[in-house]
Amino acid sequence: MNINENYFNLEESYLFSTVAKKVNEFIQNNPDKKVIRLGIGDVTLPLCKAVIEAMHNAVDEMSKKETFRGYGPEQGYDFLREKVQAYYKKRNVELELDEIFISDGAKSDLGNILDLFSKDNVVLVPDPVYPVYVDTNVMAGRKVIFANANEENGFLPLPDNNQKADVIYICSPNNPTGAVYNKEQLKKWVDYAISNNAVILFDAAYECFISDENLPKSIFEIEGAKNCAIEFCSLSKTAGFTGTRCGYTVVPKLLGKLNKFWLRRQTTKFNGVPYIIQRGAEAVFTENGQKEIKENINYYKENAKVISETLDRCNIWHVGGKHSPYIWLKCPNNMKSWEFFDLLLEKIQVVGTPGSGFGKNGEGFFRLTSFGSKENTVEAMKRFEEAFKPLNV
């Protein structure tokens, strides 16, 4: 046999392991100091009550012969797909049921969707970005080119007609930067995709963090998007499902064969999300579920506000935070990302994530997250302000 040599081309990511190593070393040498982690990329609040109740009921159903369920439809139960359909309808996006596919999360689908595309396609990925997009394409041997996100464009790159791409990734609100595209900006990407006969893979994992009605939560709010976009969504950050696993992907029929091929791919290689989990996911879309997840999201957003306001007072350039759990800041005094990481750890015992770990344009930037507790976030930002208030910089 010959192995897939493309795996040799993957770059080793030492980002989170190096962060952990440095933090552990510091704690060992300074056992008396309290380290606060604002680098967490995972939710911390538990599943909401509506979800837990629904899953308990589903467990009971599984215990009785009359209500037991075996294999379900690979693309998800109708009860959940109907809820997703209604959720889109609230934003005036009309979807047919068989355009919605339930999955075990966005990460799997973002990787698996590549089964549908030729190896010869050129892939355009923003830099910096969620590493999954690049790595899944490198594994398949595809050529990856980058769209530069930077301070000048507010980390929201727009299409460059000199760049020719077939598959385009967009993540809005973005991980790691927290930046969000408005409708005019997304329209430019849709127009570019249509005129290049390209497809947009739109990652909407953080849509629930958008609170401004004028900002698009779905690419399908943009005219023409159903002709060129696939959308990936997840309950992970929205409803705390990172360990529970459920998401959904929308493949419009206007994309022609892609809708049929995705169904074929899923029915061949995937056997569906557990019934119990889908009942929990269904509860997210009920009135109570929506109310309860919003409370959790608002908790994170309060933390983001504390971080953002502190950075404002310290005159530190940043994006994100308002419609995202992530705040992306420019390291003060032109420090490099890792230099700033070391300084924060040594001086105020606050841990964040060096921006350089997300791509070359991340150098000199730094990611803080709002997934910590309120107490810790407030304490960390108090220390931050003491250390970086304008007079001291």
DSSP state letters, 242-281: TTT--EEEE--GGGTHHHHHHHHHHHHH-----HHHHHHH
Q: Kindly tell me which of 126 and 332 has the beta carbon lying closer to ligand PLP.
A: 126
Q: How far is the CB of 249 from ligand PLP (least distance, A)?
A: 10
Q: How far is the CB of 210 from ligand PLP (least distance, A)?
A: 14
C-alpha 76/C-alpha 141 separation (Å) is 31
Q: Kindly tell me which of 81 and 383 has the beta carbon lying closer to ligand PLP.
A: 81
Q: Kindly tell me which of 209 and 384 has the beta carbon lying closer to ligand PLP.
A: 209
C-alpha 61/C-alpha 72 separation (Å) is 14
To 5 degrees, how large is the angle CA 180–CA 184–CA 187?
Answer: 100
How far CA 42 is from CA of 238, 268, 359, in Å, comes to 11, 31, 20
Beta-carbon contacts of residue 331 (< 8 Å; ≥ 6 apart): 337, 339, 340, 355, 364, 365, 366
Q: How far is the CB of 235 from ligand PLP (least distance, A)?
A: 7
Q: How far is the CB of 176 from ligand PLP (least distance, A)?
A: 8
Is the Cβ–Cβ distance between 192 and 198 less than 8 Å?
Answer: yes
Q: Kindly tell me which of 296 and 310 has the beta carbon lying closer to ligand PLP.
A: 296
Which residues are near ligand PLP by CB under 6 A? 105-107, 130, 171, 175, 203, 205, 234, 236-237, 242, 247
Record the tokens describing residue 281, joined without a space.
Answer: 């996911």
φ, ψ of residue 158 to 5 degrees: the values are: -110, 160
Q: Give me the residue whose beta carbon is nearest to ligand PLP.
A: 105
Q: Kindly tell me which of 310 and 361 has the beta carbon lying closer to ligand PLP.
A: 361
User: For residue 354, what are the β-bridge partners?
Assistant: 366
Q: How far is the CB of 121 from ligand PLP (least distance, A)?
A: 21
C-alpha 141/C-alpha 135 separation (Å) is 10
Q: How far is the CB of 244 from ligand PLP (least distance, A)?
A: 9
Q: Kindly tell me which of 310 and 370 has the beta carbon lying closer to ligand PLP.
A: 370
Q: Kindly tell me which of 307 and 316 has the beta carbon lying closer to ligand PLP.
A: 307
DSSP code for 55: H
Q: How far is the CB of 203 from ligand PLP (least distance, A)?
A: 5
Is the Cβ–Cβ distance between 231 and 82 less than 8 Å?
Answer: no
